[in-house]
Amino acid sequence: MSDHDTSLRTPIVAVLGHVDHGKTSLLDKIRGSAVSEGEAGAITQHIGATAVPLETIADMAGDLVTVEDFDLPGLLFIDTPGHHSFSTLRSRGGALADLAILVVDVNDGFQPQTEEALDILQRTGTPFVVAANKADTTPGWNPNENAPIKPSYDAQSDTARQRLDENLYEIIGQLSDDGFSADLYWRVQNFQKNIGVVPCSALTGEGVPDILAVLMGLSQRFMKAEMEIDVAGPGEGTVLEVKDQQGFGATLDVVVYDGTINEGDQIVVGGVNDPIVTEIRALLQPQPNAEIRVENRFERVDAVAAAAGVKIAAPDLDEAMAGAPVRVVRDRDVDDVIAEVEAELAEIEVDTEEEGVVVKADTLGSLEAMANALQEAEVPILRAEVGDVAPRDIAVAGTAREPEHTVILGFNVEVLPDAERELEQSEVTLFADDVIYQLVEDYEEHVAEMQRAQQETILDKIVRPARFQILDDHTFRQSDPAVVGVEIMSGTINNNTNVAKFDNNEPDRVGELSGIQAQGDDVEEARAGERVSVAIDGPTVGRQIEEGDELWIELPEKHAKILEQELNDEIPADELEALSGYLNKRRKRDPFWGK
């Protein structure tokens, strides 16, 4: 490292937040206002990323950023917003993005994906700024195009400012609930300890200068050491996407975070099965001045240095995985580099078990994020792979022993056409979504539904506990069958169940309940509190049973056990009382009865 300055690379920035809170708009605004600054080279469009040089940031940020105060060359914004792409973007086991913007709609506040994004930022220890977006929608707001936010905020009417403040403090409060001490960014003294919240608008551009200034400040103050790289060293990067490109076959969109990649370099890339060793045929960048997001307009470049986004064309890339590492071999033993790539992949590998669900995700990073979420929800994983849902996945999911595990959870993946047909004919249920918490929630709901259905069928077949008492002067028939008036004390009595009476804690079956009448009508059951007449086949009133006797529905031991251990939460309180009364009596003689 001869020249200290040239070895400081551009920090990589990702934009995260809930859907519709304005991530794309904010990125567009940053790019757009940079371009409208007018000068050629105001921004550079990379593959999958946009580089904004320090000079442009200083132009955009006015007084907030002075070129002389900074050593870092600018910022590289990842073009695909969302924490999904963020979690995909890894480098050496950590987050690839050095910094993040967490976008929160001021009116909408924290939403599930905001929480999810915050979780990821916390886990990866990524410094971030909160963009409290859509400030322009505050009633009475007086916009100031592309202006720094503080003077604009101060110049608003009291009512407009108060309305915005309410929303801002709501966001600050929610950050604090999640363990982040935060404040409006102009009040933050120590950005290492406190999160700065920047009111802004992706529509009017207000606050955008401030976001850039905070990001530059954060990287200058806290990331300089990490940004120091050996620019001339062998390139290292992360695969954003594997794409078929006409004339090139499978290509890799890569973000390079260290060293330099040259055309002709030998590289090692993480693959579905083994690391792929290949040689770079071409390095491609978007044509300058081509519209952003216009496909297939590339120019070849000889080399790219970190940090940059680039498309790599090379043979044998079909099995490369999004999220996998890319390493240039240069002057090293290729086996050492393969071992490095394998070690990095092993770190991401998901723990699987003998029994569990099948998980498919579009990238290694998202697969890992899915695995984390499932682990938290205590859902075991049988197999976890990157890729679309294929017939083989359905076969594997079908081998799960537990019905609740015969599922595939697919994150951001497609279902291959032949898999679709197979899915229809199988017992396997597919859950597909592009929001992790939604997937896990849908699956949990599915399991709960299955359990409810299962318990209902069990409850249908099981003998239910009840305690009832023969009323005085209510013998309507002595025997064959005995017909007496009873009051149900707890639980529910049903026809065709056995009736027992306890004598010295010894249950004695007195007969079978063969009929229930309520107010002269035949009924199937009677509940606690009701008075009905019942027919009992077997006993004679005055001999086996007497008026005033306490009677019970006899519970088979197995049923008592299921009721106590599995259906505890399903049965009403009075029935539970009948159950525990019955168990108490039985367990006086045999403490292990029904256990």
How does DSSP assign 299-336, residue by residue? Answer: EEESEEESSEEEEEE-TT-TTB-TT-EEEE-SSS-HHH
Question: Under a CB-based contact definition with an 8 Å cutoff, are residues 184 and 129 in contact?
Answer: no
Characterize 393-402 residue by residue with b for buried, 16 or more Cβ atoms within 10 angstroms of its Cβ, and e for exposed. Answer: bbebbeebee
Binding mask 65-84 for ligand GDP (x = CB under 6 A): ----------------x---
3-state DSSP of 87-115:
HHCEECCEECCCEEEEEEECCCCCCHHHH
User: Smallest distance from the beta carbon of 153 to ligand GDP, in angstroms?
Assistant: 14
Is residue 444 within a helix (H) or strand (E), and if so which, with residue range?
helix 436-461
Q: How far apart are CA 151 and CA 147, in angstroms?
A: 8
User: Smallest distance from the beta carbon of 86 to ligand GDP, in angstroms?
Assistant: 13
SS3 of residue 218 by DSSP: helix
Q: How far apart are CA 223 and CA 546, in angstroms?
A: 88
Binding mask 198-237 for ligand GDP (x = CB under 6 A): ---xxx----------------------------------
39 CB neighbour count, 10 Å cutoff: 11
User: Smallest distance from the beta carbon of 204 to ligand GDP, in angstroms?
Assistant: 7
Question: Taking the CA of residue 5 as centre, how many other CA atoms within 13 Å lie in the half-sphere pointing to its CB?
Answer: 5
User: Smallest distance from the beta carbon of 98 to ligand GDP, in angstroms?
Assistant: 21
Output the six-digit token pair for 272: 């579905």
368 is a site residue for ligand GDP (CB under 6 A): no
Q: Which residue, 212 or 256, is less far from ligand GDP as judged by CB?
A: 212
Q: Which residue, 26 or 337, is less far from ligand GDP as judged by CB?
A: 26
44 is a site residue for ligand GDP (CB under 6 A): no
Interface with ligand GDP: number of residues (CB under 6 A): 16
What part of residues 13-42 is at the interface with ligand GDP (CB under 6 A)?
17, 19-25
User: Smallest distance from the beta carbon of 16 to ligand GDP, in angstroms?
Assistant: 9
171 is a site residue for ligand GDP (CB under 6 A): no
Q: How far apart are CA 8 and CA 290, in angstroms?
A: 28
Q: Which residues are annotated as a binding site for GTP?
A: 17-24, 79-83
Binding mask 128-167 for ligand GDP (x = CB under 6 A): -----xx-xx------------------------------
Please list, in sequence order, all residues whose beta carbon lies within 8 angstroms of the beta carbon of residue 476, skipping any fewer than 6 positions away. Answer: 483, 484, 485, 533
Identify which of 500, 374, 474, 511 has the alpha carbon closest to the alpha carbon of residue 431. 374
471 is a site residue for ligand GDP (CB under 6 A): no
What part of residues 321-360 is at the interface with ligand GDP (CB under 6 A)?
none
User: Smallest distance from the beta carbon of 21 to ligand GDP, in angstroms?
Assistant: 5
The stretch among 184-192, 196-204, 287-295, 560-568 that binds ligand GDP (CB under 6 A) is 196-204
111 is a site residue for ligand GDP (CB under 6 A): no
465 is a site residue for ligand GDP (CB under 6 A): no
Is residue 527 within a helix (H) or strand (E), and if so which, with residue range?
strand 525-527
106 is a site residue for ligand GDP (CB under 6 A): no
User: Smallest distance from the beta carbon of 569 to ligand GDP, in angstroms?
Assistant: 40
Q: How far apart are CA 225 and CA 228, in angstroms?
A: 5
481 is a site residue for ligand GDP (CB under 6 A): no
586 is a site residue for ligand GDP (CB under 6 A): no
User: Smallest distance from the beta carbon of 51 to ligand GDP, in angstroms?
Assistant: 20
Output the six-digit token pair for 312: 């790599």
SS3 of residue 221 by DSSP: helix
Q: How far apart are CA 482 and CA 462, in angstroms?
A: 25
The stretch among 36-44, 60-68, 83-91, 197-205 that binds ligand GDP (CB under 6 A) is 197-205
Q: Which residue, 135 or 358, is less far from ligand GDP as judged by CB?
A: 135
Residues near ligand GDP (CB under 6 A): 17, 19-25, 81, 133-134, 136-137, 201-203
